[in-house]
Structure 1
Amino acid sequence: MTAGNHGAGTPPEDDDPFAHLYRPEGGAAPVPGPGEGTAPAPGVPRTSYTQVRAVGERTYGGQQAAYQVPPQQAYPYGQSSPSPHYAAPETYGGPPPQPPSFPPGDPGEGPRRGRGGGRNGLMLGAVAVVATVVIAIVAAVLFSGDGENSDVGGGDSESVAPSPEGKGDDEGKNGDDKPKKDPAAPPTEDGAKLALAGGAVVGSDTNVSEDGPYVHGLENQGASATWKPEVDEAGEYTLFVDYSVPGKDAELTLTINGQSDGRTVNLENFAKAKKGDWLAGWTRSYSWISLDAGANEIKLSCESGNKECQSAISKVELKKGQVSS
């Protein structure tokens, strides 16, 4: 049997074997296109009995597929038309097909991202946050405080117990942060801070003293150095004078609160310094005196009755009572 000859008679020459592909809905005869000739006459059997279904019309299990095929457009004979076995998803009337979903744990489900790795990531993040907080707290503790009592620098620190008034180690300071003088400490004054007159001046020659300024020029008659100390109680005190002589003995007249009575301060060469050697002649002398309570005036001067006054004074000091050191 020859292909295309399955029925009686000879098929018309213009019979289109693909007319069923663009037959209008309802079974009506297709409209011939240009050059196709006339439709087949009624009663003339078709030459092809191939059963071809339109895409989307096949049923599975007695239920029609969800996709609907849009009406086919007629194409002229001899021109290409879309394949009846394929149609793009966007040509369907319904929504585009969705990929099958599987419940969690189905064998068909691929590896899920973040199931194990996400949990580990959250744990690592929590550990990082805790570590950051701990570091911040430690830094705040180490670098807090006013820096005075902190031992961050690695040095030794000593804590001072507060006094009953709550002043601690600041008790001996006044509002200007200057240390107060201890009332029990003996009054002391540098020679350079004494009231000078009669040619006495402050010197700083290192050939005379290596410990700082001093008073010199006392060898001139009438030259003087005056000190005005204050004491809490009237009574007997000892005046100490730190001095130097250039290898020979000297003396100065001592006047207490305007009264002299011829007393002197002995500035003997106790250091046994050679003549002209001021650096080697530094030593200390003392005199017992009586003072009034409150302010007093003590003057050391070169008077006409003194045999030798050439000397240098660096400091004067008072101690209560008649002492020698």
Structure 2
Amino acid sequence: MTPGNNGENTPSAPQGDDDPFGYLYEDGQAAGATPPSGGGGYGYPGPRSSYNHVRAVGDRRPAYGQQTYGGQQAYGQQVPQQQGQQGQHGQHGQQGYGQPNAHYTAPEAQPGGAPVASPQYAPAGGGRGRGPNTKGLLIGAVAVVAVVAVGIIAAVVTGNDDDKGGDTGAGGKPSQAESVKPSEKPEKKPEKKAELPQTDAKALKLEGGTSTASDVEGAKAAGGTYVAGFDKVGAQVTWTVNGIPKAGSYKLWVNYGVPGKNSNATILVNGKKQTRPLNMENFSGGPEGDWEKGWTHTWALVQLTKGTNTVTLTCAQSDLCGTTGANIDQMWLKEAGSEG
């Protein structure tokens, strides 16, 4: 059923007078179809019975014989005076629910067309506008720097641990060189000095009229024994020295006594005469003729070989011992740079 035919059955094909473009064809023109004029419809003359009645652009009036859905006025059309005064569900002077505004005109029907609204931008985060969150950005930057710093420190510490672990000695312990700080030099342990030999008078080999005695007080040898008779040419005593650790210069110390006058003697090492004699001066300052107050000691530099050596004190023709004499108490050796 189509509007305007009162429910009567019509053919499914459009009727000749319903063709809106009938005036364009020869048969339509022969039938009297003319272009629209004065606001009328297109096609053949006479009233239209079609629902789709062509209207001008912007014309929102209902087609001829048409009614709007539900009996309401079409969108944008004027509402009769009585409808503007009383709506279906409203009060006096109010517009009814669902009824269009009587004074409403579609934007596109207004002069100049629909207005273009400028976009409105709300500030980020809602509320009143404000700048970027600089505090949050600063906190994030500090956090990134902290993470990078921790990573670098961890890498350096791990690298140092790997270097230390790769150069350890046997058993995973650092070698002696690694245990010393770079700024320090490894300390050399002082070598323990070997005890050099020493002897008393009674252990010496006596020759040339020498003998042991103990009548003069003050001798340091065991029992106060000393060698007497060392007061004439040819008198001599010999000490056999064992255990010399290395060849070199040594100090030959001799404890002796003189009668308040200076004396000396020749030194032989392994039968070889040394360049300088043993000086036996009156270092104690005892009075002449007083043997007891003449005890003192002296030293001479000698060259020894490693192992066993013989050291001989002899009273030669040019020595003072031939006229002054001397008592021999003890003999011992010391390192060349040592004292005593």
> What is the TM-score of this pair, normalised by structure 2?
0.40
Larger Rg: 2
Higher helix share: 2
